[in-house]
């Protein structure tokens, strides 16, 4: 093309970034790489190739880790952990800061290597991936510095096994390693098999920064190595990747006591209202679905357009799509690079080819003759249930439908098993901020999209996984309460003397939907005191009763919209009503447990109610100052319906410790009462009946925990399960929760002092809330 042609066509000329330095870096290392274990690189072994997806050329040979490598890496991490933690927050902060500085110093090499390996445009790796990775290390250097002052009661977990995907190789590494190290943990990280090179360059940076050996270990390989890392003697597993693998990891780690966080897939809605600045919304879509070739877990991949502007909007969008340039990732003038690997290209191609619904527009842009490329694609006129509206395509393919009212937009947006992010485009702030809380996602962007920052927690709800990365909330997943937990002592119910005879039927009923209910099974069991006296009978709840309780809790949705002030008043009122019957409850507790501590337990239970009444209107969110023209409102929202297997010990204060924080934060609960000592819970039903608690907000079941626990964890309409019952239940709950990947909080067979400070506080409030980050424009 000569100058005249350029003027006539206004076509961009190529502006390629040189690959020379990055290729030289690979060549200097002989083109083959081992693992990074205990501060040194191992000798390269048998493995696999890493190719440039834009050309198909071989970049490097990588080693497939064997079990012995993973074991060595975990051992090195274990050995290093104590010293790293003892270095103290300030010492760790210095090293993290040095890592941030070195990432900055070598940022161009990281960016070029990333684009070569992954196929993403250099503009993105240079301006987004690498700077955000640096930012993560800077931010967490600060968190290390502040840990002792701001999190005085938290300790590191130990060794973290981390498995990351290929879409943001360096950035995901930073998201995983920076918080882990800041909190005094050590790590074994496995990068994705397509994209391990920047992780290996990062290992060199660790050496340069003087990171003590064994603090960061990197093993390369495919999913089989990922499985080894997950199965290894690690204290925490952090995974980002597909929902299918996340589910397997949930299952594999169930009952192991390992802390787990999962960042999984998404099908994030992008909602455009008729009053939106349509040109901005079109430009936003370029970032939402064509950023990183659409291989983004929070990609705005499901476009919902207000009907009055749909045709106009689609026309603008098609015109913009046709101008996107697809080509050499190292060319600074291209918009869209290569798909990570021919395997992923085939997945995208097959998914789109199988679709017969709607109208497909493929951008008229030219594709390079070779390499792994896919054109920007828009499919309109789909129905909400169509496969492409539900399945994550993970490619540059946008699917769309229209809506008529804001209510319909919300319903369509929430019609997904995922819940990672959502974008709302409107010039009407009332409308945007009315919609944001109604979206079942972990993130909402208003008039912007795909915004991320270390200060704002990132993560989703539903099958998008659980846990947050970034922000203060992200640290919870890399720390545990200080102190050594004691093993849980199992408690058996007392046996009776003689037959359970009682001429009057005093069987305590279940409490479902604000009413006392007979159990579906029709069965009950006697409850004996320590001396063998018959104290009463309790109903044995089964799966059907649980289902009824879930229905009642779901119908009580209004509770989640009440004010903290109202919830506080109701909790105070429950506390007062319990206090009025303190002596009766104390007597019941003593009779059941055979002690003299009943009065103390009642006092603690009343206190617990007052504590969460106090919290109900004070556990506020935050406003994060993020480096964009806006702020991120970190809102603490109720989780939804929480099922709790209450502790067998402390039958009244244990019940309150589960119920009070949950309802204070706006959740509805289904409580499975202490199994050996259930009568305090059934007496408590009368307190609830006189305390203005709306029907369905609190539901109480009695009977066998193991009859209920796994059904609770498997129920699709329960959002989280807390399990403080007998040790084996922890694994059962975690395993069954893999069905819809709900949040679980289990005791792993460890005891808790329910009467004391461990029975209340921030840990409970965190479990009772979900942080939603709403990014809104603010300031200049
Ligand atoms: P994947 O989930 O299989 O891979 C992610 C990481 O997990 C890689 O490091 C892989 O080696 C590892 N892995 C695979 N199987 C494992 C196992 N059983 N145990 C432990 N680790 C394991 O994702 P894949 O196959 O590369 O991509 C398939 C689809 O997953 C994509 O089309 C996309 O829809 C989705 N995906 C979503 C991502 C996200 O960020 N949400 C990232 C990558 C993929």
3 state SS of 480: strand
Q: How far is the CA of 239 from the centre of ligand 1 (A)?
A: 9
Q: Are strands 236-240 and 36-37 parallel, antiparallel or unpaired?
A: unpaired
pLDDT over 80 (residue 566): yes
Ligand 1 pocket, residues with Cβ under 6 angstroms: 163-167, 190, 192-193, 222-223, 226-227, 230, 240-242, 245, 248-249, 264-265, 297, 344, 347, 392, 394
The per-residue pLDDT for range 603-658, each reduced to its tens digit, is 999 999 999 999 999 999 999 999 888 999 999 999 999 999 999 999 999 999 99
Mutate to test the pocket of ligand 1, among 171, 221, 223, 295 (most ligand atoms within 8 A of CB): 223
How many alpha carbons fall within 13 Å on the CB side of residue 611?
Answer: 22
The per-residue pLDDT for range 205-237, each reduced to its tens digit, is 999 999 999 999 999 999 999 999 999 999 999
Give CA–CA dist 653/681, Å, rounded: 10
Mutate to test the pocket of ligand 1, among 70, 163, 164, 165 (most ligand atoms within 8 A of CB): 165
Assign 500 a pLDDT band (cuts: 50, 70, 90): low
Assess: ipTM above 0.95.
yes
Decide if 667 contacts 560 (C-beta within 8 A): yes
pLDDT over 70 (residue 239): yes
For residue 670 the two structure tokens come to 């289904």
Give CA–CA dist 654/752, Å, rounded: 10
Determine the pLDDT at residue 598: 97
* Distance from chain centroid for Cα 609: 29
Phi and psi (nearest 5°) for 644? -130, 125
The per-residue pLDDT for range 349-394, each reduced to its tens digit, is 999 999 999 999 999 999 999 999 999 999 999 999 999 999 999 9
Closest approach atom of ligand 1 to CA 172:
40
pLDDT over 80 (residue 321): yes
Determine the pLDDT at residue 1: 66
pLDDT over 90 (residue 506): no
Give CA–CA dist 296/317, Å, rounded: 20
The per-residue pLDDT for range 47-79, each reduced to its tens digit, is 999 999 999 999 999 999 999 999 999 999 999
| Max Cα distance, the chain (Å) | 105
Residues 6 or more apart whose CB falls under 8 angstroms from that of 445 comprise 421, 422, 423, 424, 451, 775
3 state SS of 87: coil
Decide if 185 contacts 160 (C-beta within 8 A): yes
Residues 6 or more apart whose CB falls under 8 angstroms from that of 67 comprise 228
Q: How far is the CA of 264 from the centre of ligand 1 (A)?
A: 9
Give CA–CA dist 38/46, Å, rounded: 20
Percent of the chain at pLDDT > 90 equals 94
Mutate to test the pocket of ligand 1, among 245, 421, 450 (most ligand atoms within 8 A of CB): 245
Query: In three state form, how does the secondary structure of 328-345 look?
Result: CCCECCCCECCCCCHHHH
Q: How far is the CA of 588 from the centre of ligand 1 (A)?
A: 54
The per-residue pLDDT for range 424-443, each reduced to its tens digit, is 999 999 999 999 999 999 99
Give CA–CA dist 439/728, Å, rounded: 36
């Amino acid at each position: 093309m000569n100058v005249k042609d350029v003027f006539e066509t206004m076509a961009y000329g190529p502006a390629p970034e040189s690959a020379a330095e990055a290729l030289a870096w690979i060549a200097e290392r002989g083109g083959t790489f081992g693992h990074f274990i205990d501060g040194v690189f191992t000798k390269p072994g048998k493995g696999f190739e890493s190719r440039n997806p834009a050309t198909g050329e071989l970049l490097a040979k990588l080693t497939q880790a064997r079990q012995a490598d993973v074991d060595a890496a975990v051992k090195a991490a274990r050995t290093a952990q104590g010293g790293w933690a003892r270095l103290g927050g300030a010492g760790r902060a210095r090293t993290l800061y040095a890592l941030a500085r070195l990432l900055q110093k070598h940022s161009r090499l990281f960016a070029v290597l990333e684009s070569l390996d992954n196929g993403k445009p250099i503009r993105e790796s240079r301006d987004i991936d690498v700077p955000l990775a640096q930012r993560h290390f800077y931010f967490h250097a600060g968190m290390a510095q502040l840990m002792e002052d701001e999190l005085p009661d938290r300790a590191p977990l130990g060794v973290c096994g981390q498995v990351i995907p290929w879409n943001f190789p360096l950035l995901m590494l930073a998201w995983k390693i920076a918080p882990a190290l800041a909190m005094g943990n050590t790590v074994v990280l496995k990068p994705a098999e397509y994209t391990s090179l920047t992780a290996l360059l990062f290992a060199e940076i660790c050496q340069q920064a003087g990171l003590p050996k064994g603090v960061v270990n990197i093993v390369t390989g495919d999913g089989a190595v990922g499985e080894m890392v997950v199965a290894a003697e690690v204290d925490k597993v952090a995974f980002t990747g597909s929902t299918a693998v996340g589910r397997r990891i949930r299952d594999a780690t169930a009952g192991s006591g390992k802390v787990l966080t999962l960042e999984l897939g998404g099908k994030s809605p992008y909602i455009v209202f008729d009053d939106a600045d349509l040109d901005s919304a079109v430009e936003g879509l370029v970032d939402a679905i064509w950023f990183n070739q659409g291989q983004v877990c929070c990609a705005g991949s499901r476009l919902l357009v207000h009907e009055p502007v749909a045709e106009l909007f689609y026309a603008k969008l098609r015109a913009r799509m046709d101008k996107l340039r697809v080509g050499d990732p190292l060319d600074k003038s291209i918009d869209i690079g290569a798909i990570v690997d021919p395997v992923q290209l085939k997945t995208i191609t097959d998914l789109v080819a199988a679709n017969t619904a709607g109208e497909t527009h493929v951008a008229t842009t030219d594709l390079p003759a070779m390499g792994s490329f896919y054109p920007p694609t828009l499919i309109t006129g789909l129905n909400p249930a169509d496969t492409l509206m539900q399945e994550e395509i993970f490619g540059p393919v946008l699917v769309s439908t229209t809506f008529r009212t804001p209510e319909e937009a919300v319903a369509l947006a929430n019609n997904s098993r995922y819940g990672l992010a959502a974008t709302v485009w409107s010039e009407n702030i009332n409308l945007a901020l009315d919609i944001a809380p109604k979206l079942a996602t972990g993130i909402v962007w208003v008039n912007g999209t795909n915004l991320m920052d270390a200060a704002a927690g990132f993560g989703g709800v539903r099958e998008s996984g659980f846990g947050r990365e970034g922000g203060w909330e992200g640290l919870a997943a890399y720390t545990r309460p200080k102190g050594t937990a004691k093993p849980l002592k199992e408690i058996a119910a007392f046996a009776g003397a003689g037959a359970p005879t009682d001429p009057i039927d005093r069987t305590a009923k279940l409490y479902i939907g604000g009413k006392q209910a007979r159990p579906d099974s029709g069965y009950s069991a006697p409850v004996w005191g320590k001396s063998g006296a018959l104290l009463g009978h309790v109903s044995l709840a089964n799966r059907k009763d649980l289902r009824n309780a879930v229905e009642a809790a779901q119908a009580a949705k209004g509770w989640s919209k009440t004010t903290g002030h109202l919830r506080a008043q109701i909790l105070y009122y429950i506390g007062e009503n319990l206090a009025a019957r303190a002596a009766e409850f104390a007597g019941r507790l003593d009779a059941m447990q055979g002690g003299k501590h009943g009065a103390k337990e009642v006092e603690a239970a009343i206190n617990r109610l007052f504590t969460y009444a106090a919290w109900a209107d004070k556990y506020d969110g935050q406003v994060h100052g993020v480096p964009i023209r806006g702020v991120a409102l970190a809102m603490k929202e109720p989780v939804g319906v929480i099922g709790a297997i209450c502790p067998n010990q402390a039958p009244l204060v244990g019940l309150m410790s589960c119920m009070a924080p949950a309802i204070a934060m706006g959740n509805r609960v289904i409580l499975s009462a202490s199994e050996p000592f259930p009568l305090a819970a059934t007496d408590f039903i009368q307190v609830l009946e006189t305390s203005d608690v709306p029907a369905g907000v609190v539901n109480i079941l009695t009977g066998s925990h193991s009859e209920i626990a796994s059904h609770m964890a498997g129920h699709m309409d329960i959002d989280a399960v807390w399990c403080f019952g007998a040790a084996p239940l922890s694994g059962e709950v975690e395993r069954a929760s893999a069905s819809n990947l709900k949040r679980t909080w289990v005791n792993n067979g460890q005891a808790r002092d329910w009467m004391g400070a461990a029975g209340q506080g921030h840990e409970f409030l965190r479990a009772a809330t979900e942080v939603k980050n709403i990014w809104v424009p603010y300031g200049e």
